[in-house]
Structure formats: structure tokens, C-alpha cells
Amino acid sequence: MPGPTADLFADEALQQPAGREQIGEESYVLRGYALPWIERLLPELRRVLAQSPFRQMVTPGGFTMSAALSSCGELGWTTDARGYRYSPLDPRSQQPWPVMPDTLRQLAVAAAIEAGFGGFQPDACLINRYVPGAKMSLHQDKNERSYSAPVVSVSLGLPAIFLFGGHARSDKTQKVSLFHGDVVVWGGVDRLRFHGVMPIKDGVHPVMGPQRINLTFRTAG
């Protein structure tokens, strides 16, 4: 993640108008919600990634994911030939995942409250890195022990088209544009809706460089 954090907001044009956009019965895009947090968030994120760097994992079907990933928190999401699951250990180092920084946790909890989900206690933060061309196929978040807690997803860097579908893979999807600082929260009746990310277009973000970083907070254990 190139560049200092001292002048993140020197250009006011980078900031998205604040607002809450409803995309489902219990699903919201909080426009620009993370922007006031980013100056504190990025140094913490760099420390996490220094301990557990990005890597591209292989799915049970043998496909290498185009989005690189890391994790922090009590549990981290992993995939290999044995399947998708959460683990307390980073499979690369066989050490515990980095502790979830307070700034990240507080942002996730505050965004959940803003979307109407009180009592959110995330124990896992999946960190995805998308370079131009990378994508995420439609999927459901089903590896968590309970579906009672929402999912909180923070967008940083290059814009993305978020695909938000229904409860069946074949259901029609909404295309939702996401920008630096936007936060998507979904839960309740929408918790198991299919979602994904279209291939990221070429570009260089003035703060994050030629990439999109996505932080996804869940209660996994």
C-alpha cells in the first residue's frame, strides 16, 4: 500500500458523499463511512500484512484464486484441497493469525450498528487484495458456525462492481458500484445471499495504488 497516510484527505474529491443506500431488506451500502477511519486504519493494516503477507490460495477444485488474501483475528479463512474453513493458525507460518487491531474492530462494530445490527462481535477479518483483472465468483458465506451475525465489508482503493444476488446462484444480481471508503453490511434475512466482485478495471488509486483492498468482518466461531 504505497504512500504516506498523513495527507490521505488532501484531495476532497476522493471522498464519497456520506449516506446509507439500501440494497436489500437488511442490506446497506454506507457511502464513505470508512473515510474518517482510514488514517488510523492503514498503519494497522500494514502491520498485520507484515506479519501475515498476502498469498493466493487454491480452491478445493484446484483453481488458484485471482484475489490474494490474508487474515487477522482469532480465526482466519483458508482454502486448500481439503475444503474451505476457518483456522486459528496461518497455514503458511503455522502461527496464530495477527490480532485484529482495535481500529479495524471498532470500525466494523460501528458500521454494523449504523446498519441496524447491534452486538456485532467480529472474530475474523478476511483481507483480500484485488489487482486489475482479479475477481470473486458468486458465493455464499457459509463457513461460519452461526449466521446470526451480519457481514461487514470495507472497500479501499480502486472502484469495484459488487454483485449482490439472491438465495440461489441463478437469482438475478444487482450491480453495486463501490468506492474507496464505502462499507457494505448485510445480515438477517439477507445473510446468505450470493455475492461476488466483477473483474477490477485498470487504474491507480491516489492512496492505495493499483489495487483494491477489501476487509470482510464476520463472527466465525
Would the pTM of this model clear 0.95, i.e. be above it?
no
What is the tens place of the pLDDT at every residue in 94-142? 999 999 999 999 999 999 999 999 999 999 999 999 999 999 999 999 9
Q: What is the DSSP string of 13-33?
A: GGSPPPEEEEEETTEEEEETT
Where in the chain are the domains? 28-218
**pLDDT of 14 above 80:** no
- Asked if 45 contacts 207 with a C-beta cutoff of 8 angstroms, the reply is no
- Nine-digit cell string for 9: 484527505
What is the tens place of the pLDDT at every residue in 38-88? 999 999 999 999 999 999 998 888 888 999 999 999 999 998 888 889 999
CB-CB neighbours of 31 under 10 Å? 18
* Mean pLDDT computed over every residue of the chain: 92
Domain 28-218, CATH homologous superfamily name and number: Alpha-ketoglutarate-dependent dioxygenase AlkB-like (2.60.120.590)
